[in-house]
Amino acid sequence: MTNNSPAPDTATLLEFLFRLGQAYIACGEQTARVELALRRTASAYGLRKSRVVAFPTALFISVHDETGERVTLAQCEPQTLRLDQIADVHTLGKLAKKAEVEPNEGLRRLSEILAQKARFGAAGSVVGHMILTIGLAMVLMPTAANLAAAAVLGSIVGVVKLAQRGRTVQTVPLPVIVAALVSTLVFLAVRYGLPVDPLHALVPPLITFLPGGMLTLGMVELAYGDMVSGASRLIAGLVQLVLLTLGLAVGAVLVGYSPNDLIYSAEQYVKLFEAAWVGVLVFGLGVYLHFSAPRYSLLWILIVLLIVMLVQRLTGQFLGYEISGFFGTLVATPLSYLIQLRFRGPPATVTFLPAFWLLVPGALGLLSVTRMMSDRAAGIEGLVTVVFVISSIALGTLVGAAVYKWFTETFNWWQLQIGRVESSVRRAKKR
Q: How confident is the model at residue 250 (pLDDT cuts 50, 70, 90)?
A: confident
Beta carbons within 8 Å of 65's beta carbon, 6+ residues apart: 10, 47
**Residue 140: C-alpha distances to residues 85, 128, 210 (Å):** 29, 18, 15
CB atoms within 10 A of CB 307: 15
Give the span between the Cα atoms of 165 and 197, in whole angstroms.
30
For 91-128, the pLDDT digits (tens) are 999 999 998 999 999 999 999 998 888 888 889 999 99
User: What is the three-state SS of 43-80?
Assistant: HHCCCCCCEEEECCCEEEEEEEECCEEEEEEEECCCCC
For all residues of the chain together, what is the average pLDDT?
A: 78
Mean pLDDT of 413-430: 45
Q: Please say whether the beta carbons of 330 and 319 come within 8 A.
A: no
Pick the closest to residue 241 from 126, 387, 358, 128 (CA basis). 387
Mean pLDDT of 256-277: 57
Does residue 204 have a pLDDT over 80?
A: yes
Give residue 73's pLDDT: 83
Strands of the sheet containing 68-75, edge to edge, are 51-54, 58-65, 68-75
For 157-188, the pLDDT digits (tens) are 999 988 877 655 456 678 888 989 998 998 88
Q: How confident is the model at residue 316 (pLDDT cuts 50, 70, 90)?
A: confident
Q: Which amino acid is at 113?
A: I
Q: Please say whether the beta carbons of 94 and 84 come within 8 A.
A: no
Tell me the angle at which helices 103-115 and 10-26 cross, rounded to the nearest 10 degrees.
30
Give the span between the Cα atoms of 131 and 133, in whole angstroms.
5
CA atoms within 13 A on the CB side of 121: 1
Does residue 349 have a pLDDT over 90?
A: no
Pick the closest to residue 38 from 105, 92, 77, 109 (CA basis). 92
Give residue 218's pLDDT: 79
Q: Please say whether the beta carbons of 223 and 398 come within 8 A.
A: yes
For 57-69, the pLDDT digits (tens) are 889 988 887 777 7
Give the span between the Cα atoms of 131 and 125, in whole angstroms.
10
Q: How confident is the model at residue 413 (pLDDT cuts 50, 70, 90)?
A: very low
Give residue 6's pLDDT: 53
Domain boundaries, the chain: 10-115, 121-409
pTM: 0.80
For 134-153, the pLDDT digits (tens) are 998 888 777 888 888 899 99
Give residue 419's pLDDT: 43
CB atoms within 10 A of CB 170: 12
Give the span between the Cα atoms of 104 and 14, in whole angstroms.
11
Does residue 156 have a pLDDT over 80?
A: yes
